[in-house]
Amino acid sequence: MVKDKVLIVTGAGSGIGLTTAHVLAGAGAKVVVADINIGAAQGVANEIRDAGGEAAAVMVDVADEASVAAMVAFAVDTYGRLDGAHNNAGIEMASKPLHELTADEWGRVVHIDLTGVFYCLKHQFLAMKDSGGGAIVNTASSSGIRATMNSAEYTSAKHGVVGLTKCAAIDGAPLGIRVNAICPGLIMTPMAKDRLMNDPGFSVALEGIRQRHVIGRFGEPKEIADAVMWLLSDQSTFMTGAPMLVDGGFAI
């Protein structure tokens, strides 16, 4: 599906990004493991190489356009081209009602979760337009489709990612670049599992959220990674500008 493709994964040091990097490398892709935590990125790249895959690690702060440009340049310098990316890096919400949010809390989430995706798309387009195009997947959320309580900044940012994905699909089409969004429900990453074990209040809140997933459980990182791989592959060549829900029915 993605054999020999050069693919960037941001936020690849943990959670969904980590699993996606492993899944793509396991399918034969050359993966650029990008994360703000370079130690974590190097650890993931080492795991991939130890398993027989091909990967290189790079530090990126998606809130800094120069850092994003350097990440893309690193991918091209290392592998000669760029075929696609999973723009996955982001942060969580402050979990407050709108009237209690500070401007800094609003701005931080919107800048990282939305503007960071814009920076990635811009510089990926510049690299990919001269090498035959490719495919990009942006991590949005089921919160990019529906709204939830105490999430004004996160929901706004993720709705923005869905809108940005549609605009990017239009602008990317003449360049041979497809752009889609993945919209996960609540995914049981190691971070979520640790918080579940150590925070009783979080556990109670999570049970209410679980009951709103029609399938009756939370997702696993590999379920998102497999969908991302399909969107990056040549099996989805007639799909662009689409927000793909992988959320156990949460947004129904």
Phi-psi region at 42: left, alpha or beta (left = phi > 0; alpha = psi -120 to 50) = alpha
From CA 221, how far away is CA 108, in angstroms rounded? 25
Above 90 in pLDDT, residue 189? no
Of residues 228 and 186, more confidence is placed in: 228
Q: Which of 16-20, 94-98, 150-154, 242-246 has the lowest mean pLDDT?
A: 94-98
Closest C-alpha to 86, from 19, 132, 159: 19
Instruction: Look up 79 and say whether it is catalytic.
Output: no
In single-letter form, the type of residue at position 113 comes to: D
**Residues 68 and 117 sit within 8 Å (Cβ to Cβ):** no
**Residues 9 and 21 sit within 8 Å (Cβ to Cβ):** yes
From CA 12, how far away is CA 105, in angstroms rounded? 24
The predicted pLDDT at position 32 comes to: 99
**Over the chain, what is the mean pLDDT?**
93
The predicted pLDDT at position 143 comes to: 85
Above 90 in pLDDT, residue 252? no
The predicted pLDDT at position 204 comes to: 64
The predicted pLDDT at position 92 comes to: 84
61-117, pLDDT tens digit by residue? 999 999 999 999 999 999 999 999 999 999 887 778 899 999 999 999 999 999 999
- Residues counted in the chain: 252
Above 80 in pLDDT, residue 194? no
From CA 194, how far away is CA 211, in angstroms rounded? 20
Confidence category of residue 167, pLDDT binned at 50, 70, 90: very high
**Residues 188 and 215 sit within 8 Å (Cβ to Cβ):** no
Pairing of strands 6-10, 243-246: unpaired
Above 80 in pLDDT, residue 198? no
Q: Which of 79, 125, 154, 250 is catalytic?
A: 154
Pairing of strands 84-87, 134-139: parallel
Q: Which of 32-41, 153-162, 208-217 has the lowest mean pLDDT?
A: 208-217
112-138, pLDDT tens digit by residue? 999 999 999 999 999 999 889 999 999
The predicted pLDDT at position 250 comes to: 86
Above 90 in pLDDT, residue 201? no
Domains within the chain, CATH numbers bracketed: 6-187+220-246 (3.40.50.720)
